[in-house]
Structure 1
Amino acid sequence: MATLTAARYGKDKVRIFRVVRSPKDGEVWNDVVEYNVKALLEGDIATSYTHADNSVVVATDSIKNTCNVFAKTSPHVLHPELFALDIGLHFVKTYPHIHKAFIDIEQLKWSRIVVSKNGNPHKHSFTRDGEEKRLTSVEIDATKGKDAVTAKVTSGLSGLLVLKSSGSAFEGFVRDEWTTLPEVNDRIFSTEVDLSYTFAMPAGPLTAEGIAALQDRVKFDKTAESAKQITLDVFATDESASVQATMFKMSSEIISANPTVETVSYKLPNKHYIPVDLGFKGLANLKPADAEVFAPVAAPSGLITATVSRTH
């Protein structure tokens, strides 16, 4: 005997690029966003699995089309959290048998080009500014009724590569018969930041009219800017005793600076740089005071994670 205990489906890797044209100083200025969208639905869909009943299936192609239409019509398309809320609310409101929608968005980083001869940002020219992505994950819940919809929002960033060539140590760790790693009071600290944070959402049902007000109430964009800057500031300035200690300082400062953030989570893999033995040429390069030439090592790598929560 087999029973279906969970089911969710939708469309992944919906690629969207939107140009928003707006008047500014007598000219037309463009803003651009590029998104990778995943939209999954949950609800009374079990019979599509257990009885080959497609009458309860919103085609994944229709889900893709919905994302593209909202990219054209949503007034919130430049703001990933609001855009995700728009799309998710549409699905649970439009289909009576769909009770939850899960919208994940990766925003690729396009930055406006500053023209060197006048120092001014260009009105319609951009550069792809690294592999960093801004992330948001939204869960829209209509299980208590279409007029009592609630939302959970988790945002963050990934792909942010950082490195400091000094100001990081690792000493005093467990030493036993399994230990070969030497203690070091100064080392390269490099990682690819994977950061997420959850928001405290206002009480009351989510409505299409109320989504716009969330930008000021929950401060999605300001939090994204703050969380990234705090990450960079603490990483650069902390005399790091360990990745763990630095990670906790980052998380604590984000919570302190952003009242609508409830939890902060980091995943920080170590990007190891190993001093190269140049002794065959009589060159000292292995001790911390001498090491200047390193070999980047992709694997294996340490992986440190933590979640820090607001104390109420």
Structure 2
Amino acid sequence: MSHEISVLSHARYGKDKVRVFRVVREGKWHHIVEYNVQALLEGDIRTSYTEADNSVVVATDSIKNITYYLAKISPHVLIPERFALHLATHLVSKYAHIHKAFVTVEQLRWSRIPISGEQGPEDHPHAFIRDGDDKRTVSVEVDASKGKDKLVASVSAGISDLLVLKTTESAFTNFVRDKYTTLKEVDDRILSTSIDLSYTFAPIEIAAPTDADVEEFPIPAELPGSVWDITVPRKARKATLEIFATDNSASVQATLFTMAQRIISENAHVQSASYALPNKHYIPVDMSYLGIENLVPSKAEVFMPIAAPSGLITATATRK
């Protein structure tokens, strides 16, 4: 009876957690990226679910192998937005029955190791350090529903797990007080959060590959503030850190909105910016039993980091 009361309403599948490390050599200078990639497909795949028909299934192992192959041949591999678009475009172009591809890329943080040179500090050409746990993120959808020559892409990018802290210029007062309220108002506190940022570009048209193997991926000029502009990620990170550091914060909410406004104002083709800011609480230790003042903000110097529970503040700012 169960098959008579339900239908397949949506289906998407692919490969997750494809780990890619790529070295690009330019003489003695080596460039590296490390990615975690997810690639998912939609299209005429219904019968693989409803009729056990595998003839419409591009094996997830093939999707993994295509990811590695494009990491080898793509001239765009060092730029995660472009690599994700290249991979998604190839997938929808290669398979007639696949109409949408969804690719997410998480880029791990590697920076060149600074060394002493003849003219002072300089970057080492092929030695790197993981200098932070934050990651650069990209999420791409390439839609071929209107035809393989009418590709449209939607792109979001951002940052995850960017841990920050400041020891003053953060307050939280004048909030709702009722019988459930135990939190004390404070005009100076530690503010710490692990920032997740996602900003979304206006949809773009993608040129269809013209080579026989649909492996080429030409890109247009780097229109300022668009997905093709390689300075956008740096500007978004800079804006996030500068606002966090310099804003005399009345609340996480107010600081969050100021960050999002700046990202939209600095990048003409960013349509929205979203943040998720979980509070990382640092609670002053009560030492009054020893006759030591450590609770008044101006005297608080020893704190207990609290992992949970934590506040979670989220919001999206959208271009008018």
Fold-level match, TM-score > 0.5?
A: yes
Q: Tell me the equivalent position of 1:232.
A: 241
Pick closer, same or farther for the CA change 1:231–1:181 going to 2, 3 Å: same
Q: Which runs of 5+ in 2 are unaligned?
A: 210-215
Amino acid at match of 2:208: T
Q: Find the counterpart in structure 2 of residue 7 from structure 1.
A: 11
C-alpha distance in 2, partners of 1:135/1:205?
A: 20
For 2:222 and 2:58, the matched residues in 1 are separated by 30
1:90 alignment partner, SS class: helix
The one-letter code sitting in structure 2 at the alignment partner of 1:155 is A
In the other structure, the counterpart of 2:110 is 110
For the residue of structure 1 that corresponds to 2:39, the secondary structure is strand
Contact 1:81 1:220 in 2 (8 A): no
Aligned to 1:47, what secondary structure does the other structure show?
A: helix
State the Cα distance separating 1:176 from its structure 2 match: 0.8
Aligned to 1:291: 300
Q: Is the 8 A contact 2:93 2:208 kept in 1?
A: no
Task: State the match for 1:213 in structure 2.
Answer: 220
* Cα distance per residue 1:3-40 (max 9 Å; x no partner): 000000000000000000014xxxx2100000000000
Displacement of 1:221: 2.4
Secondary structure of 1:163's aligned partner: strand
Q: Deviations over 1:200-231 (max 9, x none)?
A: 244x4433466422644524421100010001
Matched pairs, number? 306
Q: Which runs of 5+ in 1 are unaligned?
A: none
| Match 1:309 to one of 294, 303, 318 | 318
Q: 1:214 to 1:50 in 2, by over 3 A?
A: farther
Contact 2:107 2:137 in 1 (8 A): yes
Cα separation, 2, equivalents of 1:174 and 1:154:
35
Letter aligned with residue 212 of structure 1: I
1:58 aligns with 2:58: yes
Q: CA RMSD in A?
A: 1.3
- TM-score normalised according to structure 2 size: 0.93
Aligned equivalents of 1:246 and 1:207: distance in 2? 42
> SS at the partner of 1:175?
coil
Whole-Å separation in 2 of the counterparts to 1:63 and 1:157: 25
TM-score by length of 1: 0.95
> What is the distance in 1 between the residues matched to 2:221 and 2:37?
21
Q: Measure the CA separation in 2 of the matches of 1:103 and 1:160.
A: 22
Q: Secondary structure at the match of 2:108?
A: strand
Whole-Å Cα distance in 2 between the matches of residues 250 and 161 of structure 1?
15
Q: Is the 8 A contact 1:194 1:267 kept in 2?
A: yes
The one-letter code matched in structure 2 to 1:50 is T
Question: Equivalences for 1:1-312 in 2 at 5 Å?
Answer: 1-23=5-27, 28-117=28-117, 118-202=120-204, 204-208=205-209, 211-213=218-220, 215-216=222-223, 218=226, 219-311=228-320
